[in-house]
Structure 1
């Protein structure tokens, strides 16, 4: 008899039995119902994309991409790591033609659902293949779109039976201003922009590794001319600690940030956008469900403005279950022109695990 093959699964990849598939289907139906009520239309893109479409010039993104063996073409293929980059490609490939009435007319609201793949370390609530459900508005710079996404996030979580959650808000423009505040400048071989991205990447790990480890990484000196390490002084790290530690009500946090960043134009612009969003959502989202949190960075480089992450205080180990932000420059990699867009995505399988942990998963 030949040797039997192991039934072991690769780490980070899950099996779902019928009862679990049906439970996930109910979650997807609830999400879809809310998204459709806001006028979002479905689209579908391939699981496989050309690697340069997904990675662009973002060196850190490439670390999380699964490559695909392609025997028929020299051009490299990879599995999508989110729905946002394929959406940007779709927008660029389908401009609206007013004469032929073809293409995507802006502003365009889309939703997309399906599996995505990330080469991350497998751990509780963090998988290498998982369902993601996205909603985006493309073609408007108005903060009304950002506010609408946030209100929709609130109503989606309510529709799923979740009461205790916090939507944390920040703005990448404020973090760009922070790099100016702590004195990040161009140096030989590395632009200030690249060091700022590195700073955001490190800050994005705050919940995982803690403030002291983050501080050590921010003070790490570059080991080569191409190393984007920030190499901050203890004084610079102190300024960052003071900033991300701002407390109080949302309006008090905004006021303190205005004091810190007076005269830093890009940060002032980001603060003004957050104020506008708070004004727009105040009548629809209770104060206890929304919080300005200046430590939120979002790990992907393509975010350009407001960013949001949703946490479940009763299941903190699962991290953010519903996240997103504004990405006005992503389509530019295909067309050479900015196209404003904002959106958010639910990590469905992470949410599934969190709901199961909370005893709120319907397996009937």
Structure 2
């Protein structure tokens, strides 16, 4: 091709390719999440990457709307790429509610897209692994979702992690009690400001709150005092919250339910995970209506959340006249991978499978016969695809992290045998009978 016709080989900012080793690690994570969810009674669904713009806009809040990729398709329709898996799932529930048995538990793993500023571990295309329960508003459903997320993280995180639990109803009630002149839009802005406490600190959050119409410095200070107060265990002080909201019956009921939820979660004793109550956790998306959570790695406190979720009782009703409560949790698979790299705990791919090296072209058909027998037995197997010296074939197998190399040549062909070398130990055996090969390769 002429030089002037060549196209530069480059990826878009915020998007990336996955090398084989990274893709394998990512697949290992998603496979584990998938199998654990199925084992726990969740059912798989898939939704389109592309949705009508009206489906996406307005569901996650003003900030989320700014990040949606919007365009007009070939049919003149205004469409957008999904920014998460929850909004399309809520549309799916509204569209299929007549065929779903409630409560309905779903698992879905797929890519989402946000036009946000790329940074370490945060991309414009990213994989999410979601579990949700719709059709029931109960403490048990809250525990089931949070536990499912925690058990999965316990498998992959090399050290400890902390799940911070918040509550949108309680936070909203505290805002109303401290700042009674703030309207609905202002309340959302105050929520977003409080959600930044861990990142920017009390003083900056106070400034942000005072920018909202209807706020007062006295009220803002009072709000921050309650939200940041801790008990002796380091949790948000529920007794102070209870006394502040003593006249609000709904809020007191939510406090009791939250207290029970925390007690159950802590009794489960996830080995690497800690549960902490932090009422400053609001979650940025506007559809949350109850308990919310975010998860942080203790060894990377400034990395950001690797998993989050919460209750969204009003989201399905955007698409249906029927109220269907829901709660969900999401593991940011690419965030988790980036965090593991940061911790330098992401191990090299383990060796596995058998590579068949062909010493002579006359033995190639025999080599394919061996490969087919190994694959038929459920073993990973590959074969040299071009003539070459055995040393080069062994080098290739080593780079591809195969565990063993089977060698076949004229002598093995004539005697229906094979030779094999373990690439980790270096132990080599020659002229083994082919009839025993599959049995000897299978793990015992």
Q: In 1, Cα distance between the equivalents of 2:292 and 2:259?
A: 13
Find the counterpart in structure 1 of residue 58 from structure 2.
56
User: Which of 334, 337, 340 is the aligned partner of 2:325?
Assistant: 340
Aligned to 1:130: 126
Paired residues for 1:146-185 under 5 Å: 146-185=142-181
Report the aligned-residue RMSD: 2.0
Residues 165 and 267 from structure 1, CA distance in 2 versus in 1: closer, same or farther, beyond 3 angstroms?
Answer: same
Q: Does 1:296 align with 2:315?
A: no
Distance 1:181 1:251 in 2: 21
Under a length normalisation based on structure 1, what TM-score does the superposition of the two structures give? 0.89
Partner of 1:253: 237
Does residue 1:232 correspond to 2:232, yes or no?
no
Any idea what the Cα deviations from partners look like across 1:245-281, whole Å, max 9, x if unmatched?
A: 1212277722222122221334323322211212322
Question: C-alpha deviations, 1:310-353, integer Å up to 9, x for none?
Answer: 11111123211110000000011111232111110011100000
2:36 maps to which residue?
34
Greater CA radius of gyration, 1 or 2?
2
Structure 2 length-normalised TM = 0.73
- Alignment of 1:120 with 2:122, yes or no, is no
| Partner SS state of residue 36, structure 1 | helix
Match for residue 226 of structure 1?
none
Alignment map for 1:8-87 (pairs within 5 Å): 8-56=10-58, 58-73=61-76, 75-87=77-89
Instruction: Work out the CA distance in 2 between the residues paired with 1:230 and 1:214.
Output: 15
2:196 is aligned with 1:194: no
Structure-1 separation of matches of 2:141 and 2:58? 26
Q: Where do 5+ consecutive residues of structure 1 fail to align?
A: 97-102, 187-191, 221-228
Q: Distance in 2 between matches of 1:317 and 1:294?
A: 19
Q: Alignment partner of 2:9: what SS?
A: coil
From the superposition, tell whether residues 33 and 230 of structure 1 become closer, same or farther in structure 2 (CA, over 3 Å).
Answer: farther
**Greater strand fraction, Structure 1 or Structure 2:** 2
- Sort the Cα spacing of 1:212 and 1:87 in 2 relative to 1 into closer, same or farther, 3 A: same
Is the 1:246–1:294 Cα contact (8 Å) retained in structure 2?
no
Matched, 1:262 2:253: no
**Residue 387 (structure 2) aligns with:** none
Q: Is the 8 A contact 1:154 1:285 kept in 2?
A: no
SS in 1 for 2:181: coil
Of 203, 207, 212, the match for 2:203: 212
SS of 1:60's equivalent in the other structure is helix
Answer 1 or 2: higher relative contact order, Cα 8 Å, separation at least 6.
1
Distance of aligned partners of 1:286 and 1:258 in 2 relative to their CA distance in 1, 3 Å threshold: farther
CA distance in 1, matches of 2:91, 2:345: 37
Render the CA deviation track for 1:73-100: whole Å, top value 9, x for unaligned: 2x3100000000000000000023xxxx
Gaps of 5+ in 2: 350-444
Q: Distance in 2 between matches of 1:31 and 1:362?
A: 19
* Residues 21 and 5 of structure 1: CA distance in aligned 2, closer, same or farther (over 3 Å): same
Cα distance in 2 for partners of 1:134, 1:345 equals 4
